[in-house]
Structure 1
């Protein structure tokens, strides 16, 4: 079982996670695990005007934000690299047609980069490559495993996504 994508029309960005929510499905919502700061980071960075809960994930569309994952076609055996369906991700993103994609961690961005033979991300922020023609960005991960990075720094790096989206809107408006 996996979680349903949170997508719709007129999105500003689709945030892409790493796994097809095998473990998140146990929680029934995206980023619902204890110690996960996803919802706090979205709010404190200004990407949402209020702090949502995992049970309110469907409201992300109201703020122009979608959620999906690199789609695993099947579970990998322990110790094997995950199997991602890049073509499926591309189809999902083409249907949603967001002006930007944001990977929710370097792990997610690196997984996509390896699968598509792109250069691995070195830092956070705008990536030098696109996701099937869509500008891409990498965020620091929100999970408790990333708590070694101070929260104020993570919030600042997530704010950079807002600046990236605003700059993209300006570029689109200039056409």
Structure 2
């Protein structure tokens, strides 16, 4: 793609919307009006829950991939997660009430995510890993997703599946591509080209 647009941060932080969950949210969503993308994981990892910030586990490349892909102009740290709406990015999870560092036995609230996304209407929902995307797709009888852009939507939002950034997800092939970063860059190009 040849579309390149300025990735400058918006000047004021939009008001964050609060959502209620069945139970107590481990970490609140980071959502605001007029987001380009909301990145949706399965659940908060134990390291993130203990530190009180998203993607805070040692070896997790989330913040590095976010920056190297061009989604943020500077490298952010987990403690900066509250600044993501400046870059028109939000964060959420399919399970808001449990923290664990694996997906076994999790209950995924696909309907709750749909309601939150219909309320916020981001341009894109990017599932952080195939497990999150598959859980959502299965709930609504969509085909099993691979990485990349999907033919189905979350409410009014286009959907993209990103490779998981966990250190446990390091290998030589990501659905035919040699690195996770290539998928993250494709997503960054898509959201910048459509603005």
Measured on the aligned residues, the alpha-carbon RMSD in Å equals 2.5
Q: Please tell me whether residue 17 in structure 1 is matched to residue 41 in structure 2.
A: yes
Q: TM-score, normalised by structure 1?
A: 0.85
Q: Hey, which of these two has a bigger chunk of helix by percent?
A: 1
Q: Is the 8 A contact 1:73 1:85 kept in 2?
A: no
Q: TM-score, normalised by structure 2?
A: 0.77
What is the aligned counterpart of 2:165 among 142, 151, 162? Answer: 142
Q: How many corresponding residue pairs? A: 166
Q: Is the 8 A contact 2:26 2:96 kept in 1?
A: no
Gaps of 5+ in 2: 1-24
What is the aligned counterpart of 1:103 among 93, 113, 127? Answer: 127
How far apart, CA to CA, are the structure 2 residues paired with 1:14 and 1:160? Answer: 16
Gaps of 5+ in 1: 170-175
How far apart, CA to CA, are the structure 1 residues paired with 2:143 and 2:151? Answer: 8
Residues 24-81 of structure 1 show CA distances to partners (whole Å, capped at 9, x for unaligned) of: 31231100001000000000000000000000001111001000001356789x9964
Closer, same or farther: CA 150–59 of 1 in aligned 2, 3 Å = farther
SS of alignment partner, residue 70 of structure 1: strand
